[in-house]
Structure formats: C-alpha cells, structure tokens
Amino acid sequence: MDIEKNFRMVKIRDPETREEKIVTALRARFDSKCLDDTKYRKKHNLEKSTFSKLMARRVNGLKVRDFEGNTARIIKQLKKDGVWVGSLPWEIKEEVKDVC
C-alpha cells in the first residue's frame, strides 16, 4: 500500500549529534530536503499540531472527509514539494471502495 511508503520506520544519522535514530520515511525525506518545520508551516500556513501528528505517525490521512481540512492541506503540500510519496490516502480509500 502506498501509505506505507511514507510511514515505515527508517534509521537515520542525526547530523547534529551523529547518533542514529529511527524516524518515519516521511520525516527522513522532509529533513533530507533541509526543510525546517516552523518555517515550512508558516510559509504554507499549516496548523502546528496536525503537522506534528502527521510527522509522528499519529495521523495518516485515511480518515480525511474534508479535502480542505488541515490534514488534507498538509499532505497535499507535502506531495507538491516531493516529500509525500505515492497516492494521496483518500484516493487509495476511494479505489478500494470501487473494487468491492
């Protein structure tokens, strides 16, 4: 499933402390593009708590009902910037409904 490409856990080396840590693939791609959470959120007018939950795997976008809501807006922006990989979660959900 496409969503696993973003939320699987990967091991990275923290550039500041040189220690290995385990983060989501989404967080690793975001950091590899040298993006800063605060600047990114302010630039694109995104909500802080939802952004943090998405990066920490507590929100994944599968339950999005409002495509202009906070989670959907954040995921769409990450997709535009090449951080989100694969289909959008609500597109996957619609495909599954069509098959049944």
Q: What is each CA distance from 65 to 25, 35, 98, in whole angstroms?
A: 25, 28, 17
Residue ranges of the domains in the chain? 3-99
Nearest-10 crossing angle of helices 48-55, 37-44: 130
Query: What confidence category does residue 64 fall into, taking pLDDT thresholds of 50, 70 and 90?
Result: confident
Q: What is each CA distance from 89 to 3, 21, 75, in whole angstroms?
A: 7, 26, 9
Beta bridge partners of 10: 23
Total-model pTM: 0.82
Q: Is the pLDDT of residue 88 over 70?
A: yes
Question: Is the Cα dihedral 87, 90, 92, 98 positive or negative?
Answer: negative
Q: Is the pLDDT of residue 5 over 80?
A: yes
